[in-house]
């Protein structure tokens, strides 16, 4: 069964701005979440399914490149942003969002969402869908 990904942000990313503006904006969003959730670059690497070297390059350039035709790696970035949006709707306090990501959850077999995503980056999509259904029943 193939999962169809639908992102409301996809058209916004590819319409109306040049690549350098998009890359810098995406950098600010992704690294803003990193700071807010107190994630390490290693944890971000696991969440967005990129190598630590790639994360370091993004930080050095202060920009994230996205291909003209979104690939699965690009979708992983969008999934991460979408998860952030969903958790922002569910939890008022930043500390609650960050701790939810790290705390073992009985519904996830006593693993944290972060650990599940580290074990298989595709779990980000599943977790985001589940949390979306909880946030918007």
What confidence tens digit (pLDDT) does each residue in 108-118 have? 999 999 999 99
Rounded to the nearest integer, the mean pLDDT of the chain is 86
Q: Output the CA torsion sign for 86, 89, 90, 91.
A: positive
Predicted local confidence at residue 137, as pLDDT: 81
3-state SS of the chain: helix, strand, coil percent to 5? 65, 0, 30
For residue range 60-86, list pLDDT tens digits in order: 999 998 777 777 778 899 999 999 999
Mean pLDDT for the stretch of residues 93-118: 95
Q: How far is CA 69 from CA 3, 10, 121, in A?
A: 18, 10, 20
Mean pLDDT for the stretch of residues 31-53: 94
* 130 or 19, greater pLDDT: 130
């Amino acid at each position: 069964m193939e999962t169809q990904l639908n992102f409301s942000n996809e058209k916004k990313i590819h319409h109306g701005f040049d690549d350098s503006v998009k890359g810098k904006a995406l950098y600010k969003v992704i690294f803003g979440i990193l700071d807010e959730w107190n994630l390490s670059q290693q944890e971000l690497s696991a969440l967005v399914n990129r190598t630590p070297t790639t994360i370091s390059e993004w930080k050095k350039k202060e920009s994230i490149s996205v291909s003209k035709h979104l690939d699965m790696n690009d979708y992983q970035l969008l999934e991460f942003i979408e998860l952030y949006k969903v958790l922002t709707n569910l939890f008022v306090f930043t500390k609650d969002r960050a701790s939810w990501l790290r705390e073992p959850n009985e519904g996830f077999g006593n693993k944290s969402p972060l650990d599940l995503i580290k074990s298989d980056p595709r779990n980000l999509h599943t977790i985001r869908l589940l949390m979306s259904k909880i946030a918007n029943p």
